[in-house]
Structure 1
């Protein structure tokens, strides 16, 4: 701060942030500093005895940046207040490429959360709905997401864990794409920092409602009835006349409601902010219109389609018995390929005794399926913060964030039977506490503690999530996956090709003791795969495609005293019932993560030229993953209630339970010499994987295959790893309208834990006993399975990027700036597989 007329410094002058009690006073050189200011836009007021007051408005403050505001006061106490606009487009101390989005700007953008805002930053590539972004050619798991000082990620995959923050909850978002300081680690491509508000002394509130229905009726699921037509009954595989709701072609069933409220509980002492957001959508992939192709369906459902050819059961009665040609109407003998099937022809067939509604089927060449796939994506997000000013120099902040996401995405194999694709469910709760203590006007520290409770499930039936239910997997284990042309029954495509290899119904023999005959097919009975003549009188008692009933099952059980020949004459095999079973995505995945983080960060303005930063971080995770994919059906040889029963082989089961911990420390200095800014830093990272590793595996030694399946593999505790990574950033403002910068850094990232733990089975699930530990027996890695298996390596080196960047920014006008970056990456130790031959 200087005298406008003489340029002399004004020691002892006062600078205050309007609307707060925060401020500072100038030193003997007229310099001042105000530390620990939340991101936002402020008004500064400067005053000095014998001088007029000067006000600078629209001063933008961003995390980890210095905002320079100079004052020039004019002598004279009678002068009017001088008002100056303080916004700058060029951040003079920026030593790396950082995109900063303020909350006010985000509210004006057509976005839903911070993941959408991230896609707008230069250098970020958006991979579309549900995909993870990439920064400057890096992989999606090379980005660290930090929300209110808490690292939010899925340690197994290394990605953002499906966590998001609604747009009304964003106070500031920073995207660091070109190097970052030693304060940040656990990433090689970029850092995303999200700050959420804690409220203020002013009341604010908003409500937002969105829909793609564009009608009042559209605010309810689906909207008005738009059209009807032939649709596939997803339960039976048959066609039916199904009305469906779709008011416009771009109505994807999306409905959103978001509301936020903030204000004071006790003015100047306690404030709050809360936001809740709910979005339901059927997704843009939900409605499917298939290709024009041959298909086989009952005659009545094929009226209006073009005849292709007859099949084996084209002319049968309700019992499945073929009719004699003399009994058929003459019109059917005149049918040629391409002729349209008329209602008159179908009525004539019905009068002749042909079961045109079910048993008798005809091949057409121009069938086109249109139906809804049953896809959905439902998301709930909540952000709640409480700010407490304990003393003028001690602040506390409590935070809670919730994410609930349940969805069923598109799977090409299940295109025609999407209801048998798995459901995905993620539940995330983040609890945090932050204390900020301003020890002196130039020194403050922050203490943070947080717990992230992250739960993820991939399942078909709800009971699969209950380890205490001994029958949790029974309904999923009876299926067979069969890929083939769906409902074409041997008809080839008209052009000789085929692009319709999807999962369809399979004919299987299911054991009579199977307890879910009547509820296995998504709580519906299964269907017979062939016609049955149970009393042997030559007349079918039950027809192919008929739903199972308890009476039918009891009758078949009562016939088990017959000989095999007598059973075969009735369409049966001993001990089983022939059913037509749909496919199911039988894989089950369960992940439970408790992520504890504690950090200490100290910031000290040692003098007007040096801003010192120092920090420590401790992170411990309780990780649990259970993944099972049964590749065989129950064969009936073992009672289902036997505790030793397994419907899968060991290679189909992954069980990991571990508590790894990570440590980090950093020190950095921000040195300012006039227009030159130098920011050196050094970071230490430590990892203990908390799991065993195969002896000699890390050194590449051959691993001896066990002599017997029960022999344990020799293991030893994994090593604790530590690494140093230096950082250096330099900024040189040429003028107040141009800046050059250079950045160098070594950025380390430990592999995601599913790479380190791959192939481990530290436990197993036993029906009636729940999860059981196996580590006392030695970890069974699956070397005895007779084929090559993939085994993780907890001692693997961290991935490393050495980064260089030159950056330039030029202010073309007061509202437009031009920037250019030239960067080079040298990447080491990407994850790969080494083949190790057993002795």
Structure 2
């Protein structure tokens, strides 16, 4: 089916393109190419019509001529070794026209690939043989987005869920996130992003969903490459303040939200503008839309002045500093520090991949009666990147990046310490009986009474049993050399990337268990354990990547051939455990690990080769067909490798985790074919079909091993076994409407099928359905076939004439998003119990066959620049931003009986509490969780300045 889809698409593309062929009088282009400074001619300079096979080289006098040009709009590309590449966009040709374009080129000063664009930004790049989009700072400033994630969710192939961002049906942790050349992902949290970047700090964001180059090796679904802004040659300051109420926080569209940001860019005095500074701070605080909040959030990492750091339910801060120093022409040094802090009670902040329930909102509804005792999460991250870009010669370039990422995540009972010196009260929520106790059926003549089940929400003074702390300290050293010959037909790059990491993981359930218990004034029990269960380890893995890549350009044909060698050493912790007979390592795992690894520099290493091929070529003028094939990989979540291997500090609880040192990475083999078409200078289209085959997904199994006393105990163990197949089609349109309007539409359809959604789920399927479930392919829970993002930007560049008058200062951004609902397993009525409640149970052979009600969302932002008589781009503006304009009720907790979020009176499955019946059989919590819907309408009022 997948192959047929690709073949049909390819046939459709060629058929459509062949119909465009016309016989008409051809145009020509001629001119002279000179040095912008000296005026000397540049013999041998190349002039190309992008998206065609047409081009010419300048003769000894710098003259060039290109004949046979079909009447259309083109981008003209001019190249000469040692000089900038110049792009002239929107050049139009009439039939038979002879156009003259004289060109001046400036010597390259920044890098080998320095590009200057003359004209408006292209609607699509016809020279990139990949599914890649670049969003500039100017585009970001026109949208109502807060951070990089909100920028990305508008792009084709990207869906935002409670877990994070999914690219082309992959899991959220499979994306590689880079900030100024350094990995910005917390590999232990499992959420994707590790360091938040505020939208106003971004110079540009590259999103690559297909055809990822060999220089990227940390993700298996795509790459998000963020570049931080630099200060300019003049002092600039800008800022913004938004809030969602004007004095009345009780209105329905207010979540008690405040957003603040301040940005400064400037040259440093006394450096002749060689040294520049960009600095930014932002704060975002909100109580969300759930209603219930804690009286005060407390963070044990930021215990001083909690009212300042955590005044709301969600509190996010970022701080950016970037210094850029031009040492000389062709040599530039930058230093970036990106800092972020998040304090909230959202359980999605920590995702231990494969264990948490999939697609579950992070609101702790079961503790909503007493959120002062719920779990509070603090995620603190700091990234530092030092980058050197150096032009060695006119043919050779070098880039070196040295960076440090530190990220720390703490989860505790709203700031309480790990445990007090002594315990003198019952803390476990499950063992505290609230008073008074209500009795169900107190008049039963049989004398059988039941305690009333109530609403199932915790309200007894107990505290959350979660205590978690991990940190990642990661040092990176990356180098890349690039060579471009005089004819510019090759761009050969090769490099080395090294990452040295320290992971420390402490995960404890009910930490007070094992602390001394105070019986009376003089009697104490002794400490016996670290909580009721725990997982504790500290490790030092190393990763190394070698890559070589050649981008070949010849008369409109572009081919990129790449090869990457990834090598990784799990570290001394694992090597010692494998060699220690007393460590709880399965014998077969010891043998396999030693057989599949090689010892180098005292550590045992694994390796994998990842080939990459990208090819593009014009099929007609301004219509480029491209094909991508590539292997990529993602190392397993560290917990799957290291858990429970320490021979001394072991979790002896039932079903504790046992790591597998011999785990292989999860691998993606991707195929992609697509068409990029520039229909005219204002309208561009891309159409792509892709097929991703994912192998070696990790699954959970139960094994019996001997503990230190020799007694058998059952453990959760992990192996590579599952697979997934994701295929789909994406359509992108960009249309510039006149001078003032820009619009876009990204439409994606995909199907995600596999054997299980998580490591834990695979084990449960075997328990419920037997080993036969291992060979059964099914829809994955994160399969959401349709994703449509459209938007229109109204941003006049100066004045807008209406009815003979000039209107200035107004701008608007309107966006619409449509996303298929979550998958669920339908339920059927099987019987009615003695209280009259209908009993619904899953239809086993229709696992995840149904699709819930789709999501619809409309956002609108209106801005008005106050007429203060300042230069263009400067001044003060007022704004109104409306999120979820239509107040759509988008379901994110699905009632499998109805396919929508629960409303009172609906029937529910047997595993849910039905508030219409209060029998003793009811369990769980009341289904009226406010997080069962996405956020309702929110209106934010803002003021912004730029000087």
Measured against the shorter chain, the TM-score band is 0.5 to 0.7
Q: Which residue of 2 aligns with 1:407?
A: 344
* Equivalent-residue separation in structure 2 for 1:150 and 1:389 (angstroms): 21
Match of 1:275 in 2: 280
- Displacement, 1:286? 3.2
Secondary structure of the structure 2 residue equivalent to 1:286: coil
- Residue 237 of structure 2: aligned partner: 205
Structure 2 residue 214 is the aligned partner of structure 1 residue 192: no
**Are the structure 2 counterparts of residues 791 and 694 from structure 1 closer, same or farther at C-alpha, using a change threshold of 3 Å?**
farther
In structure 2, the residue matched to 1:324 is none
Aligned partners of 1:427, 1:212: CA distance in 2, in Å?
26
Match of 1:422 among 375, 386, 394: 375
Separation in 1, partners of 2:244, 2:663:
48
Q: Does 1:623 align with 2:508?
A: no
Structure number with greater Rg is: 1
Question: Alignment partner for residue 585 of structure 1, among 450, 457, 464?
Answer: 464
Counterpart secondary structure, 1:440: coil
Out of 481, 500, 515, the position equivalent to 1:602 is 481
Write out aligned runs for 1:34-49 (5 A).
none
Q: Residue 129 of structure 2 contacts residue 614 of structure 2 at CA under 8 Å; is this kept in 1?
A: yes
Secondary structure of 1:111's aligned partner: coil
**Structure 1 position 386 matched with structure 2 position 323:** yes
2:872 maps to what in 1?
none
Structure-2 residue corresponding to 1:526: none
Are positions 1:459 and 2:412 aligned together? yes
| 1:311-336 Cα distance to aligned partner (Å, 9 max, x none) | xxxxxxxxxxxxxxxxxxxxxxxxxx
Is 1:672 equivalent to 2:550 in the alignment?
A: no
Shift of 1:417: 1.4
**1:752 aligned to 2:637?**
yes
- The corresponding residue for 1:489 is 437
User: Which residue of structure 1 aligns with residue 617 of structure 2?
Assistant: 732
Match of 2:119 in 1: 85
| Aligned counterpart for 1:659 among listed residues 540, 549, 556 | 540
- Secondary structure at 2:484's aligned position in 1? strand
Kindly indicate whether the alpha-carbon contact (under 8 Å) linking 1:619 and 1:661 is maintained by their aligned counterparts in 2. yes
1:754 match: secondary structure: helix
Residue 132 (str. 1) matches residue 164 (str. 2): yes
Give the counterpart of 2:157 among 92, 99, 123.
123
Cα drift, residue 435 of structure 1: 1.1
Structure 1 residue 98 and structure 2 residue 98: aligned?
no
Q: Which residue of 1 aligns with 2:401?
A: 448
Q: How does 1:248-267 map to 2 (within 5 A)?
A: 248-265=251-268, 266-267=271-272
Conserved? CA contact 2:589–2:661, under 8 Å: no
Q: In structure 1, the residue corresponding to 2:188 is in which secondary structure?
A: coil
Q: Which residue of 2 aligns with 1:377?
A: 314
Over 3 Å counting, the alpha-carbon distance change for 1:819 and 1:493 in structure 2 is: farther
Cα distance per residue 1:85-129 (max 9 Å; x no partner): 35422312211111221110000101101011111111101114x
Aligned to 1:335: none
Give the alignment partner of residue 14 of structure 1, picking from 35, 42, 53.
35
Tell me the TM-score normalized by structure 2: 0.55
In structure 2, the CA distance between the partners of 1:169 and 1:59, relative to structure 1 (3 Å rule), is: farther
1:718 is displaced (CA, Å) by 7.8
Distance 1:817 1:809 in 2: 8
- Is the alpha carbon distance of 1:703 and 1:97 closer, same or farther for their aligned partners in structure 2, counting shifts above 3 Å? closer
CA–CA separation in structure 2 for the residues paired with 1:679 and 1:84:
27
Kindly indicate whether residue 141 of structure 2 is the aligned counterpart of residue 107 of structure 1.
Answer: yes
Give the structure 2 partner of residue 242 of structure 1. none
Deviations 1:778-835 (A, max 9, x none): 44444xx484432011221111111000111223343222222111111111011244
Q: Deviations over 1:150-176 (max 9, x none)?
A: 101112244434421111111101111
Per-residue deviation, residues 749-789 of structure 1 (Å, max 9, x unmatched)? 111212212234x4xxxxxxxxxxxxxxx44444xx48443
Q: Deviations over 1:42-87 (max 9, x none)?
A: xxxx9x99999xxx999999xxx9875599866899xxxxx96354
Secondary structure at 1:756 match in 2: helix
Residue correspondence of structure 1 range 491-640 to structure 2 within 5 A: 491-492=439-440, 500-505=455-460, 582-606=461-485, 607-630=487-510, 632=513, 636=517
1:787–1:249 Cα change, 3 Å: closer
Q: Distance in 1 between matches of 2:518 and 2:250?
A: 54
CA RMSD in angstroms, aligned pairs only: 4.2
Match of 1:689 in 2: 570
Query: Aligned residue for 1:802?
Result: 669
CA distance in 2, matches of 1:99, 1:794: 38
CA pair 374-462 structure 1, distance change in 2 beyond 3 A? closer
> How far did residue 31 of structure 1 move?
2.6
1:260/1:474 CA distance change after superposition, 3 Å: farther
C-alpha deviation, 1:269, in angstroms:
0.7
The verdict on how the C-alpha distance between 1:477 and 1:458 changes in structure 2, with shifts beyond 3 A counting, is: farther
| 1:583 shift after superposition | 1.0
The SS at the match of 2:392 is: strand
8 Å Cα contact 2:383/2:405 also seen in 1: yes
CA contact (8 A) 2:201 2:320 kept: yes
**What secondary structure does 1:797 align onto?**
coil
Deviations 1:122-156 (Å, cap 9, x if unpaired)?
Answer: 1101114xx31101110000011101111011122
Partner of 2:545: helix, strand, or coil?
A: strand
Q: How does 1:285-434 map to 2 (within 5 A)?
A: 285-287=290-292, 376-409=313-346, 410-434=363-387
For 2:198, which of 166, 169, 181 is the aligned residue?
166
Query: In structure 1, how many angstroms separate the alpha carbons of the residues matched to 2:452 and 2:626?
Result: 58
Gaps of 5+ in 2: 1-25, 49-57, 65-73, 92-98, 105-116, 294-309, 347-362, 443-450, 592-598, 707-947
Matched, 1:183 2:215: yes
**Residues 277/605 of structure 1: CA separation in 2 closer, same or farther (3 Å cut):** same
Q: Is residue 701 from structure 1 mapped to residue 581 from structure 2 by the alignment?
A: no
Does structure 1 retain, via aligned residues, the 8 Å contact 2:427–2:462? Answer: yes
Q: Retained in 1: the 8 A contact 2:242–2:260? A: yes
Whether the 8 Å CA contact 1:403–1:428 is kept in 2: the answer is yes
Cα 1:641/1:434, change in 2 over 3 Å: farther
Deviations 1:253-275 (A, max 9, x none): 11111010112113431111111
Q: Is the 8 A contact 1:255 1:280 kept in 2?
A: yes
Deviations 1:407-446 (A, max 9, x none): 1233122121111102111111112211111112232111
Distance 1:641 1:68, change over 3 A: farther
Structure 1 residues 838 and 429: CA distance shift in structure 2, 3 A: closer
Q: Quickly say closer, same or farther: Cα 1:392–1:636, change in 2 above 3 A.
A: closer
Cα deviation for residue 587 of structure 1 reads 2.1
Kept in 2: contact 1:135–1:189 (CA 8 A): yes
User: Which residue of structure 1 lines up, in the alignment, with residue 16 of structure 2?
Assistant: none
Shift of 1:618: 0.8
- 8 Å CA contact retained: 2:623, 2:675: yes
CA contact (8 A) 1:24 1:441 kept: no
Q: Measure how far apart 1:700 and its partner are.
A: 6.4
Report the counterpart of residue 333 of structure 1 in structure 2: none
Distance 1:743 1:474, change over 3 A: farther
Cα distance in 1 between the residues matched to 2:417 and 2:39? 61
* Deviation readout 1:310-367 (Å, 9 max, x if unpaired): xxxxxxxxxxxxxxxxxxxxxxxxxxxxxxxxxxxxxxxxxxxxxxxxxxxxxxxxxx
